[in-house]
Amino acid sequence: MIRDFPLPDLGEGLTESEIVAWRVAVGDRVELNQIIADVETAKAVVELPSPFAGVVTALHAGEGETVNVGAPLFSCDTGEGGSGEGAPDDSAAARPVAPGAGAAPARDQGADDAPGPNLVGYGAGVESGPKRRARRTALAADLVPALPAETAPPVDDAASAPGAPPVAAAAPPSERPRSTPPVRKLAHDLGVDLAAVHGTGERGLITRADVEAAASARPTSEATMAPESTETGPQVGAAAVGDVRIPIRGVRKHTAAAMVASAFTAPHVTEFLTIDVTATMDLVRSLREDRAFAGHRVTPLAVVAKAVCLAARRTPDVNARWEESSQEIVQFASVNLGIAAATERGLVVPNVKAAERLTLIELADAIGELATTAREGRTRPADLTGGTLSITNVGVFGVDAGTPILNPGEAVILAMGAVRRQPWEHRGEIALREVMTLSLSFDHRLVDGQQAASFLTDVGAILRDPARALTMI
């Protein structure tokens, strides 16, 4: 029997994923839960296991291509009897289970509410049939606003363009063309009316390619044509020798959307504090030389992280979230401390859960592990959600200070500057000391200047004299 494996929902409401690498090829035999592909969501690279054993008969997307949730990813000949291709098979052998979970119970095909089989690494199996279609359509209708009429080109223009793709009649006002939120955003940016686009995806779903084809086929009107310029510099959209075009997707796309949303939602204010951190650097060096801590890499970042956790206890307003929908400020019981990490795929901010409960050594180990997995592209989606406040270490790039943008939903973000030896007043004299600048950006809806200053000075006091931390425990 030939069975199709649709791309599952990998969580967080993501509607598509990009194929990073195939681990199998057509003709390969795969085992149950064998990793078949690496796919990139908006935040992380996820390994996909096979939901059944058999021989791979088709790969429905190439590396670098984007696949919508629910669209076929690969097909496999399971070698089982059946009345036709794609027929459902609920045998225990074709049902992957989580380690130690035992065999999954048989599913009643007549009960729509029965959970599907669980793939290792993610939740319930993807629904199929009319109910799934109804739910996905309803979800798209609830989450995505209608495309403003003034941004849509006339239907006649798209239909009359030479080589234009087939178009469908405009949907009634009560219905919306079937597409995903990223595709709707693309259509809005390109000025394409989704009601005039024929979807070539599964069950008529409008894909990126459909939108791009409609945009390229639409004739350029005189009103939208750029006037001729006498300047010799490169024009927007013009191709030039040596230009490099990089698709906006994956982590870069998610980061851009998150930063724009944060910058234009939360009123940002930044405060700065320059301090003598010689005592902190002495502490770091002494711990590295202590055999009792061999195998543990304590860094200035770890000390700052511990200071942030202690200071947040004294100023709980910084560990909070503004909830517009409920008109409430939520102060969190724990500090899920985000650590910004620069990777080849872009900036990610995994977080250490309940960081306030960890010792300095445990916190150093947790931060080191997060940084390693982030650089290797193995960060789990769970580590990228639920953060309550964050730290970014711009000092490793030789930068003294900055005005970092908040992660959406967080009240503060602290930037660590570079540690520099410079003349500084010390005990009434001028001496060479190790100095750092801290930059604290905060959401002024949640945090006032006095609260931000109290938090920042508490962090600075601990870094100036780590023993002071004993007075804050």
* pLDDT band for position 216 (cuts 50, 70, 90): confident
Between vectors from CA 209 to CA 204 and to CA 211, what angle results, nearest 5°? Answer: 80
Delineate the domains of the chain, giving CATH numbers in brackets. Answer: 2-97+121-126 (2.40.50.100), 136-217 (4.10.320.10), 252-471 (3.30.559.10)
Q: Are 126 and 116 in contact (CB under 8 A)?
A: yes
**What per-residue confidence (pLDDT) applies to 162?**
44
* pLDDT band for position 219 (cuts 50, 70, 90): low
Helix, strand or coil, per DSSP, at residue 290:
coil
User: To the nearest whole number, what is the mean pLDDT of the chain?
Assistant: 77
* pLDDT band for position 224 (cuts 50, 70, 90): very low
Q: Are 367 and 352 in contact (CB under 8 A)?
A: yes
* pLDDT band for position 196 (cuts 50, 70, 90): confident
Establish how many alpha carbons lie within 13 A of residue 303's alpha carbon, considering only the half-sphere containing its beta carbon: 26
Between CA 124 and CA 9 the distance in angstroms is 9
Task: Identify the weakest region by mean pLDDT among 40-49, 140-149, 284-293, 419-428.
Answer: 140-149
pLDDT of 289 higher than 60: yes
Q: What is the pLDDT of residues 356-408, one digit of tens each?
A: 999 999 999 999 999 999 888 888 888 888 999 999 999 999 999 999 999 99
**Is residue 444 annotated as part of the catalytic site, yes or no?**
yes
* pLDDT band for position 239 (cuts 50, 70, 90): low
> Both tokens of residue 414?
């602290």
Task: Identify the weakest region by mean pLDDT among 115-129, 232-246, 345-359.
Answer: 115-129
> Both tokens of residue 196?
């005039």
Q: Which amino acid is at 273?
A: L
Closest by CA to 455, choosing from 422, 421, 414, is: 414
Average pLDDT over residues 336-348: 89
pLDDT of 247 higher than 60: yes
* pLDDT band for position 167 (cuts 50, 70, 90): very low
**What per-residue confidence (pLDDT) applies to 163?**
45
Task: Identify the weakest region by mean pLDDT among 19-33, 56-70, 71-85, 203-217.
Answer: 71-85
**What per-residue confidence (pLDDT) applies to 142?**
42
Task: Show Cβ contacts of residue 250 under 8 Å, excluding neighbours closer than 6 positions.
Answer: 18, 40, 42, 345, 346
Q: What is the pLDDT of residues 113-128, one digit of tens each?
A: 433 333 433 333 434 4
**What per-residue confidence (pLDDT) applies to 379?**
85
> Both tokens of residue 294?
């061999």
Q: Which residues pair with 206 in a beta bridge?
A: 179
Q: How many whole angstroms from its chain centre is CA 9?
A: 14
Can you give the C-alpha Rg of the chain in angstroms? Answer: 27
pLDDT of 218 higher than 70: no
pLDDT of 225 higher than 90: no
CB-based burial of residue 68 (10 Å sphere; 0-12 exposed, 13-18 middle, 19+ buried)? Answer: buried
Q: Are 208 and 18 in contact (CB under 8 A)?
A: no
**What per-residue confidence (pLDDT) applies to 41?**
72
The one catalytic residue among 60, 254, 268, 444: 444
Q: Which residues pair with 419 in a beta bridge?
A: none
Tell me which H or E stretch contains 365: helix 360-375
Helix, strand or coil, per DSSP, at residue 378:
coil
Dump the DSSP string for 139-178: HHHHHSPPPPGGGSPPHHHHHHSTTPPP--PPPPTT----
User: Which residue bears the tokens 């401390």?
Assistant: 337
Between CA 323 and CA 282 the distance in angstroms is 42
Average pLDDT over residues 142-150: 40
Rounded to 5 degrees, φ, ψ at 117 are: -65, 150
Between CA 128 and CA 140 the distance in angstroms is 17
Average pLDDT over residues 227-242: 55
Which has more pLDDT, 135 or 249?
249
Helix, strand or coil, per DSSP, at residue 5:
strand
* pLDDT band for position 273 (cuts 50, 70, 90): very high
Task: Identify the weakest region by mean pLDDT among 21-25, 46-50, 64-68, 80-84.
Answer: 80-84
Task: Show Cβ contacts of residue 140 under 8 Å, excluding neighbours closer than 6 positions.
Answer: 176, 178, 179, 180, 181
Between CA 398 and CA 416 the distance in angstroms is 11
**What per-residue confidence (pLDDT) applies to 66?**
85
Torsion of CA 407, 408, 409, 413, to 10 degrees: 20
Q: Are 414 and 390 in contact (CB under 8 A)?
A: yes
Q: Are 202 and 69 in contact (CB under 8 A)?
A: no
